[in-house]
Amino acid sequence: MKALFIVLIFLFLQGCETLNIRDQPATSGSIPESWSAKGRAGVSVDDSYQSVGFDVEFVDQEFELVLVGALGLGKVNIRSTVQGLWVNHQRTSLSLQQWMEQELGWHLPLSSLANIVFEHQLNASHEWQVKISRFMPYQEVNVAKLVKLQHQHKPIKIKLLFQEVNQLK
């Protein structure tokens, strides 16, 4: 009886070993110098909720972020260059975080995004609690597909759903 029990446990464990778990990350990849991503973001601040589409491109230390409101209503183009931050082609003296908090009531840790997406770093920003619950293939590794961010000190929760991640040439 004991031998049968051991054989059954062995067979069970062997079966568990061969399961293909789809949402497990493969080895994280290196961060490309130029990359882009498209997706949707759900943002909860206090008791209000917003849904926005995003399209972001990173080239070296510069980025361009386009946010589009629900149903395509309202579009804002944010560009950061060595000359400063530009919002809808107008220069602003505010930082990205200051502008987003002032205009939207929330901000996104954009400078940590590459580390989260490509390297699966859950501690990429000390202000944010990060959870990655889904992954998608990118070249020969997996990148984050569904990222949940919760601010440590402010009532901001963000869910990012990446639809595409591409390397720019």
Q: How confident is the prediction for the chain on average, in pLDDT? A: 85
Burial of 32 (0-12, 13-18, 19+ CB in 10 A): middle
Among 7-21, 49-63, 104-118, the range scoring the smallest mean pLDDT is 7-21
For the chain, the 3-state helix, strand and coil shares in percent, each to the nearest 5, are 20, 45, 30
List helix spans (H) across the chain.
2-17, 96-103, 113-119
For residue 113, CA distances in Å to 21, 116, 124 come to 25, 5, 8
Question: Are 112 and 96 contacting, i.e. CB atoms less than 8 angstroms apart?
Answer: no
Both tokens assigned to 136: 């998608």
Domain 28-167 superfamily per CATH? Lipoprotein localisation LolA/LolB/LppX (2.50.20.10)
pLDDT, position 53: 96
**Each residue's pLDDT tens digit, 99-133:** 999 999 999 999 999 999 999 998 878 899 999 99
For residue 52, CA distances in Å to 29, 62, 146, 150, 158 come to 27, 22, 15, 17, 11
Per-residue pLDDT band at 7 (split at 50, 70, 90): very low
Which residues are paired to 75 by β-bridges? 68
Among 2-6, 50-54, 72-76, 131-135, the range scoring the smallest mean pLDDT is 2-6
**Each residue's pLDDT tens digit, 140-160:** 889 999 999 999 999 999 999
List helix spans (H) across 35-152.
96-103, 113-119
pLDDT, position 27: 54
